[in-house]
A and B are shown apart, each in its own frame.
Chain A
Amino acid sequence: MKAAPFRRAFVTAFATALLGAAWASAAPAARAEDLVFLSTQLRPIESAQKMRTEILAGAPVPTRFVTEQPPQLGVHVRAEAQGGNVVSSLIGGLHGELLPLAGTDNLAPLDDVLASLAERKINPAMLAAGKFGGAQQLYIPWMQATYIMVANRQALPFLPEGADINALTYAQLGQWAANIQAKTGKRMLGFPAGPTGLMPRFFEGYLYPSFTGGVVRTFRSPEAEQMWTQFRELWKSVNPNSTNYGFMQEPLLSGDVWIAFDHVARVMDALSRKPEEFVAFPAPAGPKGRGWMPVVAGLSIAKGAPAAADAAKLIEYLTRPAVQLATLKAVAFFPVVQVEMPADLDPGLKLAADAVAKMGAAPDSVVSALPVGLDQRGGEFDKLFMDTFQRVVLRGEAPRAALDRQAETLKRIIAETKAACWAPDAPSDGPCPVQ
């Protein structure tokens, strides 16, 4: 694959011209021969700009950071490969976004790159996931995020007796919110269940794993029935505006809610602006453990990449402890390698980092993956959980009937995508069964 330099430059320049003015105007200084780093992560313009001006400014190779919508990533990368001129060398995406690319053989093996990173203490579980169950390393962990709970300190006196805020159960969370309601008359627990909120992830990665130890297999199990009944009870102490909330940092800062669950990036503003007012802590546990969903982003090199060696250099750079810390400070994504947190870390970031660390270290934790293999049906999968929530909790339908009904939709989605089970469901041969 040794193209003559001028030809390679021509191809790259041609593709750049094709891909249009948008990128050019976003990175006016970029040269045609820069390495192209295609990422579904750090898409918001503010994060992307910080990535370009702060983090990549010190990179060993000139890099052009280009973002892509998650559903389009596969199309984009495969189109480049099939068109015979691969432009994007480095690909950054979530585990579930890179998986389909591994399936279509668009990712180059990274075992040599990994060997050169031997002294980095990369989280071993995340590293193992980067093999997608095969023998070769197909992505190197890049950064992580997850979901946490945040509470206003005013709520702490109402904690139920004997409850440890770092090891809460869902029953205790319900009791806590009920105590506040009884004493203040207000419902101060909040969830991001609005149209732009990430509530489906709460059901998929937290509630279901905690109560049933699964998501798809156990969707309509007796444990799930029990779970929805309990959650409906808990919802009586939840702020009714929750079905409008998108980012929980806003109601936390305005004082509309005292206790909230959300993605760490969506509560960061509250923690950073008023670190003395808030505490951050892990999500609660249910009978089957403490379900949690680490969101791991990885770095892959595209097969046939025009700048594979430079991309490897960039992977080395991005996984340096100092750069991981810089990433944390700039865009609030957490390190995947062992780093010493500096004493002068922003207090809000420190609160969040501690909560994330506690979540991962919890002895009863049940790790859930983001849904894998659903591709275009991912949105419908999310809707399934929101519909069930709407039926059982908001409309008061009997959980058994609602679950049986929604299970038909789940079976259809799984049948159409032939998705195999993902954690915490036990692995399956073929499509994941709804039991």
Chain B
Amino acid sequence: MRRAGALPYLLILPSVLFLGVLFVVPLVQTALLAFQQGGAWSLDDWHRMAEDLNFTDAVRNTFSVVLIVVPLQCALALGMTMLLRHVRHGRDLILWVWSIPLGISDLAAGLVWLALLTDQGWLNTLLFKAGLISGPQAWLTYETPMVLLAGIIVAELWRATAIVFVILLAGVQLLPKEYEEAAEVFGASPWQRFWRVTLPLLRPSLQTALILRTVLAFEMFAMALALGGRNFPVMVSEAFNWQYGSQDYGVAASYAVLVMAISVAATLVYLVALRVPAEQRA
């Protein structure tokens, strides 16, 4: 009996070791780097991070993107999932097309959107041919911060809605049809069925999708770099700049720890707010 009890732990031991060596150790090292200066405990790196020219912008930009993109993506993905439930012909084709962005790296996607939005890009060509502008119009500069933000949001919506969609679709496919049919028999309208039956049942999938997307959105980097460059600092791009541009590993580590703290906090909020009832847990 005791051997059988130890077996599961033995089996997960390799992955625990793997995580410990490749994740926990660097994590602790990063945290030490952020809180130490010359071997002594210090908040110097944090002060320098907070006093830096780009810090407020980076935090504001990151939160703007997360707060706008994540809810929009959830709404869009829910809509797409519900639509797909009622499609009879060409379902696979639609599914395939909608999942394409999943297979494209963020930097490649960023460069595609840069080609669309740059001065001599396709958007300007289109607007010019339609007679709406008289010459190249700059969209992605420090003079047009709102358009820049909008561009990054649209690009992020295009790039990363697919992952939310795929998770929700998997969740929807697992839902028993009986609940909805019962609601229909009792005369519930489609809206009522969605709000009262489908959405609550989808809560576990929604929770997973929200956690994943929010954490990834806080780590957004390539898209902001490709479209915004110096004009749109985000927290991770600042960490990158401090690490590789300025070679100040302490401040970079402070950013990394800050991003991690925010991600953990967001995850906890979701875990509490979207608590999944015990009977619904897998």
Contact = CB atoms under 8 A, between A and B. Distances in A.
A240 B135 contact: no
Nearest to A377: B247
A244 B247 contact: no
B229 A376 contact: no
Main secondary structure on B side of the interface with A: loop
Contacts of A400: none
A241 B140 contact: yes
Contact of A194 (B53, B138, B229): B229
Contacts of A185: 135
A394 B145 CA distance: 12
A162 B257 CA distance: 58
B88 to A, nearest CB: 47
Nearest to B114: A244
A185 B119 CA distance: 15
B230 interface: yes
A240 B230 contact: no
Nearest to B240: A195
A382 B241 CA distance: 12
Contacts of A254: 120
Chain A interface bracket (under 10, 10 to 19, 20 to 34, 35 or more): 20 to 34
B105 interface: no
Contacts of B52: 387
A380 interface: yes
Contacts of A391: 53
Contact of B138 (A193, A240, A376): A240
Interface in B208-235: 225, 229-231
B141 A379 contact: no
A241 B230 contact: no
Contacts of B140: 241, 244
Contact of B246 (A186, A240, A383, A390): A383
A243 B144 CA distance: 13
Interface string B108-152: 000000000001100000000000000110101111000000000
B181 interface: no
Interface residues of B, number: 21
Contact of B141 (A186, A241, A376, A378): A241
B229 A243 contact: yes
Contacts of A387: 52-53
Interface in A186-212: 186, 193-195
A377 B251 CA distance: 13
Contacts of B230: 193-195, 243-244, 386
B229 A195 contact: yes
A256 interface: yes
A225 B141 CA distance: 26
Contacts of B136: 256
Given A240-B138, A244-B140, A387-B53, A380 B246 contact: yes
B248 interface: yes
Given A240-B141, A244-B140, A256-B120, A376 B245 contact: no
A124 interface: no
A241 B53 contact: no
Contact of B248 (A194, A239, A241, A380): A380
Nearest to B141: A240
A243 B142 contact: yes
A70 to B, nearest CB: 11
Contacts of A186: 135
B141 to A, nearest CB: 4
A383 B245 contact: yes
A379 B53 contact: no
Nearest to A381: B246
A71 interface: yes
A243 B230 CA distance: 6
B120 A380 contact: no
Contacts of B225: 195
A244 B229 contact: yes
Contacts of B142: 240, 243, 394
A386 B244 CA distance: 16
Interface in B148-167: none
A239 B225 CA distance: 19
B162 to A, nearest CB: 28
A53 B69 CA distance: 51
A388 to B, nearest CB: 9
B76 to A, nearest CB: 29
Interface string A382-414: 110011001100100000000000000000000
B231 A243 contact: yes
Interface in B177-234: 225, 229-231
Question: B140, B230, B247 — which one has the most chain A CB atoms within 10 A of its CB?
Answer: B230
B175 to A, nearest CB: 46
Contacts of B241: 195, 383
Contacts of A239: 138
Nearest to A245: B229
Contacts of A378: 247
A382 B245 contact: yes
Contacts of A193: 230
Contact of A379 (B120, B143, B231, B246): B246
A244 B231 contact: yes
A256 B247 contact: no
Given A241-B138, A241-B140, A390 B120 contact: no
A379 B245 contact: yes
Contacts of B143: 240
Contacts of B141: 240-241, 243-244
A322 to B, nearest CB: 39
Contacts of B53: 387, 390-391
Contacts of A379: 244-248
A80 B247 CA distance: 24
A193 B245 CA distance: 14
Interface in B14-69: 52-53
A71 to B, nearest CB: 7
Contact of B247 (A240, A380, A386, A394): A380
A383 B229 CA distance: 15
When A and B form their complex, which 3 residue pairs have the shortest distance between CB atoms, in order from nearest? A240-B141, A379-B246, A380-B246
15 contacts: A194-B229, A195-B229, A239-B138, A240-B138, A240-B143, A243-B230, A243-B231, A376-B247, A378-B247, A379-B248, A380-B247, A380-B248, A382-B246, A383-B241, A383-B246
Given A195-B230, A243-B231, A256-B120, 6 more contacts: A185-B135, A194-B229, A240-B143, A244-B229, A379-B244, A380-B247
